[in-house]
Amino acid sequence: DTGVSQNPRHKITKRGQNVTFRCDPISEHNRLYWYRQTLGQGPEFLTYFQNEAQLEKSRLLSDRFSAERPKGSFSTLEIQRTEQGDSAMYLCASSLAEGSPQDNEQFFGPGTRLTVL
């Protein structure tokens, strides 16, 4: 079990550019979540997948944001035409859908820190 991994760990971009982040969940986990965390705040939910299906999107996820999880494995989060307000830590988490309630425990990756200049 290698845990949840995210790449890149840091991304600096200029306003207006597009960026894409990748998340690799724990291998047997079929639920995958994206959260965003700004300085001094707790993470806020963005979207989640069960297998390859995107089941819920937060109102925080504007039209400039898109997430995919092809084949129900890794996921990507793309931000188009980045704005300075997009600067944040983007966190990915995964969990099991079936099994005991304890299996619904969400495990987080190290995050991708985005800075938009």
In Å, how far are 13, 54, 74, 95 from 70, measured between CA atoms?
26, 10, 7, 17
Selected from 17, 51, 62, 104, the binder of another protein by CB under 8 A is 104
Q: What are 114's strand-pairing partners?
A: 11, 88
Cβ at position 89, least distance to another protein in Å: 8
Cβ at position 41, least distance to another protein in Å: 5
Selected from 8, 16, 18, 44, the binder of another protein by CB under 8 A is 44
Contact 107, 3 (CB under 8 A): yes
Selected from 43, 67, 69, 114, the binder of another protein by CB under 8 A is 43
Backbone torsions φ then ψ of 58, nearest 5 degrees: -75, 155
Q: Which stretch binds another protein (CB under 8 A): 15-23, 62-70, 72-80, 105-113?
A: 105-113
For 34, left (φ over 0), alpha (ψ -120 to 50), or beta?
A: beta
Binding-site ranges for another protein (CB under 8 A): 4, 6, 31, 33, 35, 40-45, 48, 56, 58, 91, 93, 95, 101-102, 104-111, 113
